[in-house]
A and B are shown apart, each in its own frame.
Chain A
Amino acid sequence: MTPFDPVALPGSNNPDMTDHVSGIALRANAFGWWRIATVLPAALTSGLIGSILYLFFAGVGIWGIDWPVAWGFAIINYVWWIAIASGGTFISALFFLTRSEWRNSINRIAESMTLFGAACAGIYPILHLGRPWFFYWLFPYPNTMDLWPQFRSPLLWDFFAILTYVTSSVMFWYLGLLPDLATLRDRAPTRGKQVVYGVMALGFRGTSSQWRHYRVLYGVLAAIMAPLVCSVHSIVGLDFAGAATVGWHSTMYPPFFIFGAFLSGFATVLLLIIPMRRLLRLERYITGRHLDVMGRLLLTSSLFVGYAYIMDAFNTYYGGEKAEITMFQEKLFGYYAGIYWATVLFNVLLPQLLWFAAIRLNELVVALVSIGVIVGMWCERFTIVVVSLHRPRLPSAYGLYHATIWDWLTMLGTVGFFVFGILLVVRLIPVISMFEMREILAPRRP
């Protein structure tokens, strides 16, 4: 592998690629490794369902949240997942608009990651509520009480942002899938698969007028999605910045959250494509070029995030507000200091390895750096939510936060659900966008 590999290795062509990729989805029996790999995620997903049922039965008191730290894992995980999701959209939509060819091999997996990341994120705000059965009160629907939601609240903006983002992510993912579903329909070996893929393909037959409409719609959606990533993350940032709370009240938050979203999104994509290209024999289509580009993007976003951390410290001390400084000192040297320094280590220091091309192409190191970044981003959210809240303005309200088993079960449950979803994608739909690959590969076998 070299950074100068082409997007697909020489000798690749459309028929081989289509055979290979659709063959994975249309296999009669799943891979052995697939069967083993699904066990743990399926178990964790069951744990998620169980802990949600118990949560609804017993109330949010089962979590570790308390009087000063009224937000905990639910919000941390929500922000963490939505950031992971955003990275996928960024790759598939923004780099579509810039016509970056390397994106075609990995946009399907990036979008699938968005889909399941957003699904994991989307359940948390509802679980988080004290009375989750009234979550729809956030929606401005006409009602006999003549009540509207409170439009000044960042949480309301957040509700709309998430709703928009989840909806459009699903649409974007599904639209991008249509031509490939049609391919699967045409190649399906059994009647059952023909019907299922046929229904899912919505009658896409590849006529020139269908392609013309398709390309226009896809372009429009991409043009919507790319800025939407930024807006949804700005609004997640405003959930915090819109409050007058110590540690949150900062104009830096919206861009800071976008940086974080890119960082965790790129890391997750890397973490997914590295094993996938091996396991599914996709080395031909996911090459050194991809690893190199993604490594550079990861490094760049890490530098952005590092800048944000520095500005966070600068603003705190330059601003000179006592409560902010007290909280910041606590962040650096207090009870949760380990988590802050882990954030710095994983998000800023560790990715600096990627300055070296050799390391960018070392799949093991890159995977480890990616895991580090994903953990680091979670630590960052923990610091923002918990550490800020545990040192409020009045000393009498100082407190601590400790997660309970239910916090962990819910969090690991969403991890399991995410992995389970990705595995389903691998099993059932083409993991590489075949119709987009066809635009850059040789049309025939040599």
Chain B
Amino acid sequence: MNGQWRGLDRLSRDPAFVARASAEFPQLAAALAAPRNRRGVLKLMAAGLALAGLGGCDDGAPGGVLIPPVLPPTDTVSAGSHLFATASVGGGYANGILVRHVNGRPIKVEGNPAHPASLGGTSAIGQAEVLGFYDPDRSRGLTRDGEPQAWSSLLTALAAQRQAMGQSHGEGFRILTGSTTSPTLARQIIALKQLYPGVRWHRWEPVSRDAVRAGAILAYGQPVELVPKLDAVDLLLTIDSDLFDGAPGHLRFARDFAARRNPTRTDRMNRAYAIEPTPTLMGVAADHRFIAGPRDLARIIPALAAWLLGGEPSADMPAWFAPLVGDMKATRGRCFVHAGPDQPAGVHALVHAMNEALGGRGQTYDLIAPVEADPVNHGASLRSLIDDMTAGRVTTLVIIDSNPVFTAPGFGDALTRVAVSMTLADGSSETAAKTQWSLPARHGFEDWSDALAYDGTVTLLQPQARPLYDGISPHSLLALFAAPEEVYSRDVVRQTHGLNDQQWHDALAAGLVAGTQAAPTDVALKPIQAPVGGAMAAPAQQDITLLVRPDPHIWDGRYANNAWLQELPRPLTKLTWDNPLLVSPAIAERLKLLNGDRVTVANGATEVTLAAWIMPGQAPECVVALLGFGRTDVGMVGQGVGYDVYPLTAGSGPVLLHKAGGRDVLASTERHDPIFADAGEYVHHGTLAAFKADPAFLGKPASQPQEYNRRPTGPAAWGMSIDLNACIGCNACVVACMAENNIPVVGKQQVIHEREMHWLRIDRYYEGSPEAPDMFFQPVMCQHCERAPCEIVCPVGATVHDEEGLNVMVYNRCVGTRFCSNNCPYKVRRFNYYAFAAEERRPAVARNPEVTVRARGVMEKCTFCLQRIAAARIDADSDNRPVGANEVQTACQAACPTQAFTFGNMAEGGQVVERKKSPLTYALLGDQDTRPRVTYEGRIRNASSGAGA
């Protein structure tokens, strides 16, 4: 298992290697010689090194040069960092990422600009994956019935298994996986089925997309994958949509959508309508957000479809209905409708029909063959497995990357009837604890694999480090069921794609196999049939409607042991470390609930008691339960955090809600009375019509020249512009900042105590009534004021201005008076009340070695990623040239899927200077005259003239 991956870092310092690399990859040598764009070079180097290093692999013996994760070989050169492509896989779908290595250790996830699913953006979950890789709670060895075992005993057991399967032709052998797009995994399972015809493959993804799949079958008679092309969409109508926070390709959608949101840079600003029962990121970003619970939707969507398809006006519709239809008809061909996975199949079918009728196919979206391998209905697949298990028809069950004991009520009981069960997972889980065998899986950063992007692009996953802990790849495990020979996952993956050396190297360098995106299919829409209308039967009339949604960061519970994600304030509630029931303001009023009050929610026979949280803008009859919390067997971080609401998914029947005794203290990072009449003071906002009348209506005039102007005079002038039109509040920047800057996690108690350490926070404002507020996001970090109030109050000069306009914090000099924090109008400074960094369970090797780890009693704050600036400065100095305008990317900027951040050296012009010239530009709390180097572009709504609020 050792020969997988080479020590590229060391090789890159070897002259013979460099010569070989240059000969093999002339573009690398050319790029190194040419005037440098640092990022470009890093990309090329990553590519080149990956290729050349692997080239070297062929003539080296297994066990050649490997970089151990902790102690590098003595001749390793520690300077510089390298990027290697791989992918972050969510719900089976791949987002391309690059992993930054320093001293041979993966320390930071960056986006892969070449990857179609992200175009260089990343998600919060993707950013946090590096912490999961170093998680000390990961499984460290295999166990059988809870007892540690040697690998040889597994091999023995598998030999017996092979023999038994040979005799029974695989009858009773079942494989359960999550949703997967991996061609290799699918190929292996198909091969296994050919070998043993009785083998069956079940699928279970707790955050189900079954309705999407079923809707496509209703509409087209076969499963198809929808590929929206939001850059071509003028009018977007979303129905309870997850386009920005969960749908496959959501990073790409956010990018394409945001690219047409700032009227100073596009004259074709798109317009978005969102109809949804509970606020989503899409709803916040939309120009018009209409609140409709499931019952209303069941009425409105068919009426909408009927009007668009047949042109019959329907009575009894909300006031916004007619203008919306008018707007849609007016943008025929450039209009796109999207429904979220929580909508029933009938809605999806109607949406397909509407999209066809609106003539957008090929323009605003494509249909391709399904990306998921062997798409099945997960709910049905799991039910049949449970039935078979209960009936004793399952003799062997192999569970790969799935946690059904936690996520599927009833599975645990059925599992006791299975003779041989096996879980392959990279951490402890409820399922691993209940199966006979628990096998440690390799982390995604330790293994070779592949996955498809939302558009079908083949994406390769390559290991980023030698495995930290003993583990096995699913590809190797599946091969062992077929034959006793140990196979390397790299070889299996490579075989799947049949690439020659050159193509393989190129694919690894780019992280994807070029040109593999799926071609659009020409499948035709079936005529709308009566059952579609039947499928739209209105949900039962009841007072309370329960919606079950994944937590935006913990997802279905699989990231519960990731402290960065646990402590990441949820986009709208700003809650950390908890999943209270989100209740609408109407219900809260009726039951006299305050935030944190315990409530009991019953769904049929099952009931769960948990805290409640009032969610402004939620449909009056709705409560939302968030999945993923309440894990009982996950590791020290996630154990027992929050409430397990999976039992509610099994119940059916009337939903009852009543107040239970007691109140929980919830850790939200927004502690103010949430509703404001004048959020516009902080988030400047207005309508497109007002902007067209006077483009400068939001921006503040530049401040008057001052007598005492201490404008920094250095060779560079760092500045940032944040486009509030682009920010969707997804939190990727916050995690990126934590990863880049070694920001400690403080835990729930300390968040309650108001001591969270995030250097970058996303402020959320509500404006209007609690029932239907407007919502705004605003990322706030150190504003690097030219006239910084923090600097003059520090008695020891621990925070000072540098000549390039940075407000720098000298940790070593800080004595901890905290006066700077008091005097900061933006409150962006964070204080180490305890030795938060030292108390973290995160291993020291996981930290960014370029950034000081702060001690107890020291103030800290955003540095504009000073370490990245310093690296660029060194590059520039050695070339005897100024640092280029766009040469430095801050971590938040690089992570942002929508390019809301622009950063650069304003002395050299560049994009940030261009953006700051926008008439929407304003400084936060401009009346304080702090002259911040961070400015914001006010948010413009492309409000429809007829659509009301």
Contact = CB atoms under 8 A, between A and B. Distances in A.
Contact of A128 (B681, B817, B834): B817
Interface string A135-149: 101100000000111
Judged by DSSP, the binding face of B is loop
Contact of B814 (A59, A130, A148, A394): A130
B793 A155 contact: yes
A61 B681 CA distance: 34
A59 B822 contact: no
A152 B818 CA distance: 16
B755 A395 contact: no
Interface stretch (B117-125, B463-471, B500-508, B853-861): B853-861
Contacts of A67: 754-756, 821, 827, 830-831
A58 interface: yes
A393 B825 contact: yes
A206 B560 CA distance: 81
A65 B755 CA distance: 9
Contacts of B754: 66-69, 399-400
A137 B813 contact: yes
A61 B859 CA distance: 13
B826 interface: yes
Contacts of B859: 130
Contact of A153 (B753, B792, B830, B924): B792
Interface in B810-856: 813-819, 821-823, 825-827, 830-835, 855-856
Contacts of B858: 130-131
Contacts, number: 144
B665 to A, nearest CB: 12
A152 B753 CA distance: 32
Contacts of B763: 394-396
Contacts of A243: 789, 793, 819, 822-823
A154 interface: yes
A243 B791 CA distance: 11
Nearest to B816: A130
Contacts of B765: 395-396
Contact of B671 (A137, A322, A399): A399
Interface stretch (B134-142, B335-343, B704-712, B794-802): B794-802
Interface in B669-702: 670-672, 676, 681-682
A386 to B, nearest CB: 11
Contact of B857 (A59, A152, A397): A59
B833 A155 contact: no
A159 interface: yes
Given A67-B831, A399-B671, A159 B818 contact: no
Contacts of A155: 793-795, 817, 819
A122 interface: no
Contacts of A398: 671-672
B822 A71 contact: yes
Nearest to B681: A322
Interface in B712-764: 753-756, 761, 763-764
Nearest to A389: B822
Interface residues of B, number: 49
B19 interface: no
A416 interface: no
B632 interface: no
A59 B815 contact: no
Contacts of B521: none
A330 to B, nearest CB: 10
B381 interface: no
Contacts of A132: 815
Nearest to A396: B763
A379 B751 CA distance: 27
A395 B795 contact: no
Contacts of B796: 137-138, 147, 149-150
A14 B761 CA distance: 73
Interface string A46-77: 00000000000011110001111111000000
A36 interface: no
A398 to B, nearest CB: 4
B925 interface: yes
A58 B856 CA distance: 9
A392 interface: yes
Nearest to B819: A155
B433 interface: no
Given A67-B827, A398-B672, A400-B671, A159 B816 contact: no
A119 to B, nearest CB: 21
A134 interface: yes
Interface in B5-19: none
Contacts of B792: 150, 152-153
Contact of B832 (A69, A129, A130): A130
B780 interface: yes
A156 interface: yes
A244 interface: yes
A60 B833 contact: yes
A123 to B, nearest CB: 15
B928 A393 contact: yes
B747 to A, nearest CB: 12
A306 interface: no
Contact of A394 (B795, B823, B825, B855): B825
A400 B754 CA distance: 8
Nearest to B818: A70
A395 B827 CA distance: 10
Nearest to B856: A59
Interface in A24-64: 58-61
Interface string A151-164: 01111100100000
Contacts of A393: 825-827, 925, 928
B571 to A, nearest CB: 13
Nearest to B674: A395
Given A68-B754, A155-B795, A244-B928, A135 B671 contact: no
Contacts of B822: 70-71, 243, 245, 389
Interface in A96-120: none
A445 to B, nearest CB: 58
Given A61-B834, A244-B928, A129 B817 contact: yes
A67 B755 CA distance: 5
A255 interface: no
A322 B825 CA distance: 14
Contact of B816 (A58, A68, A129, A156): A129
B789 A244 contact: yes
Contacts of A242: 793
Contacts of A159: 795
Contact of B682 (A58, A389, A394): A394
A68 B756 CA distance: 11
Interface string A64-94: 0111111100000000000000000000000
A49 to B, nearest CB: 21
Contacts of A397: 826-827
Contacts of A399: 671, 754
A130 B827 contact: no
A244 B793 CA distance: 10
B834 A58 contact: yes
B548 to A, nearest CB: 29
A59 B793 contact: no
B834 A153 contact: no
A400 B815 CA distance: 24
Contacts of A60: 816, 833, 857
Contacts of B813: 137, 147
A153 B831 contact: no
Nearest to A393: B825
8 contacts: A58-B834, A67-B754, A129-B817, A138-B796, A243-B823, A245-B823, A394-B826, A395-B765
Q: Which 6 A-B pairs have the closest CB atoms?
A: A130-B816, A130-B857, A61-B833, A397-B827, A66-B754, A70-B818
Given A130-B816, A395-B676, A397-B826, 13 more contacts: A61-B856, A67-B830, A70-B822, A128-B817, A135-B815, A137-B813, A138-B796, A147-B797, A150-B794, A159-B795, A396-B763, A396-B764, A400-B754
